[in-house]
Amino acid sequence: MRDDKNGAAPAFGGLAIDFSGDTGATTAVATATGGPSTATTGAGRVETKLVVVGSGPAGLTAAIYAARSNLEPIVLAGSAPGGQLMLTSDVENFPGFADGIQGPDLMAAMRVQAERFGSQLIDVDIERVDFSSRPFRIWARGTEYRAQSVIVATGASALWLGLDSETRLRGRGVSACATCDGFFFRDREIAVVGGGDTAFEEATYLTRFATKVHLLHRRDTFRASKIMVDRAIKHPKIEIHPNLAVEEILGDAKVEGVRLRDVKTGAESRLPVDGVFIAIGYEPNTAAFRDWLEVDEKGYLVVHDETGSKVDGVFIAGDVHDHRYRQAVTAAADGCKAAIDAERWLESQGIAEAATATAW
Ligand SMILES: Cc1cc2nc3c(=O)[nH]c(=O)nc-3n(C[C@H](O)[C@H](O)[C@H](O)COP(=O)(O)OP(=O)(O)OC[C@H]3O[C@@H](n4cnc5c(N)ncnc54)[C@H](O)[C@@H]3O)c2cc1C
């Protein structure tokens, strides 16, 4: 693992961005009935042409494009503004940063860029929506927002074990993304936690870098397909440890090992490793939309024709539908596409000016 991955916790670096507060907070229920962009509560607009829900790479990229196209987006940024990249340190695969960039710095820069063109960001989780007619209605912390179109970019949250030590060592050897962070573990010994397809896929992928991959699972049966389990059993670099629960991730400034408990005997043991990948799944953040939009068997939103949904005027971007690529650059690209699709749709409805289509 590279030293800088073991260094200071993710910080906003040189960018003085406040992710903790609202940039245009509204506290009263809006009563406006006028057209887009007319209603405010005094603290910020509550009605507009486009609301973006979520402020990860998908949501902020959508906001940048929409703001530059005069859609005056309101971004309901969520209680985790910046999204999943706020949970990591080095990002080395986002184009344009030859030396890499810290995840929180990248998201801070995207936020500044979105605000620069007039996006209004409010760090609230939305609770429910009504997509039955336009303007679409969205409720968050006691305020009703209204929009002629909506981009849903609420992502999918990686599931964690819930250990204090895991939170403390995130970005310092604890990760939930092998594609993103495997490279940092060249010639190291690591552990993968989980028993489903994701865990087996990640373990197999990580053998490209690691000298040894320990797959830790709390049961002696696996949800993963038999073919994946068989492949892992035969792999010379993978060792499968059934019936072991991770009690603690060991290490002060960086991961040094895991403390394990045998769920059958209660016996405790320690396994020295340099990294721990938690691969127990993702939870797509779709609760507020389930009554209105289609979800697949895993709970992810279903897109039609690139970024469309079954509701005209509601678009979808990023990991909230994409469980195949799950990368910042693909989420950002999706946000761009959703904003262009929303702008063209608004134009077709006579809401956005035709000329703005050239503003990209
Ligand atoms: C540990 C880790 C390391 C990673 N490292 C890399 C890497 O190095 N390179 C890379 O390309 N990718 C990396 N990824 C993957 C990358 O972070 C995701 O693919 C990307 O963030 C997805 O972007 P998104 O905008 O779709 O969703 P997210 O980033 O998940 O953002 C979702 C947003 O929606 C908001 N939200 C959720 N629910 C609501 C609600 N009800 N109301 C309002 N807002 C809501 C959240 O607060 C958040 O702002 C990593 C992921 C993890 C977990």
Q: What's the mean per-residue pLDDT of the chain?
A: 88
- Checking if the pLDDT of 95 tops 80, the result is yes
For the chain, what percent of residues have pLDDT higher than 70? Answer: 86
Q: Which of 22, 105, 123, 177 is catalytic?
A: 177
C-alpha 122 – ligand 1 centre gap (Å): 17
Neighbours of 117 (CB within 10 A): 17
Question: What number does the ligand 1 atom closest to the CA of 94 have?
Answer: 11
Question: What number does the ligand 1 atom closest to the CA of 86 have?
Answer: 17
Q: Which of 22, 90, 123, 181 is catalytic?
A: 181
In whole angstroms, give the CA distance from residue 202 to residue 122.
35
pLDDT of the residue at 359: 53
- Checking if the pLDDT of 285 tops 80, the result is yes
pLDDT of the residue at 324: 93
> Residues of CATH 3.50.50.60 domain(s) within the chain?
3-157+282-358, 160-278
Pick the CATH number of 160-278 from 3.30.470.20, 3.50.50.60, 3.30.565.10, 3.40.50.11030: 3.50.50.60
Q: Cβ contacts of residue 332 below 8 Å, gap of 6+? A: 57, 58, 60, 61
Neighbours of 84 (CB within 10 A): 24
- At 189, list the tokens: 């010994």
Q: Cβ contacts of residue 281 below 8 Å, gap of 6+? A: 159, 194, 196, 198
pLDDT of the residue at 28: 28
- Checking if the pLDDT of 2 tops 70, the result is no
Give the model confidence (pLDDT) of 53-86 as tens digits. 999 999 999 999 999 999 999 999 999 999 999 9
Question: What number does the ligand 1 atom closest to the CA of 156 have?
Answer: 30
Instruction: For the domain covering 3-157+282-358, report its CATH number.
Output: 3.50.50.60
pLDDT of the residue at 24: 41
C-alpha 308 – ligand 1 centre gap (Å): 20
- Checking if the pLDDT of 45 tops 60, the result is yes
- 4 is a catalytic site residue: no
CB 177 within 8 Å of CB 158: yes
Please state the pTM of the whole predicted model: 0.86
For a mutational test of ligand 1's pocket, the pick from 52, 55, 76, 177, i.e. the residue with the most ligand atoms closer than 8 A to its C-beta, is 177
- Checking if the pLDDT of 32 tops 50, the result is no
- From residue 221, give the alpha-carbon distance in Å to each of 194, 225, 346: 11, 11, 51
Extended strands (E) in 263-311: 268-271, 275-278, 282-284
CB 91 within 8 Å of CB 175: no
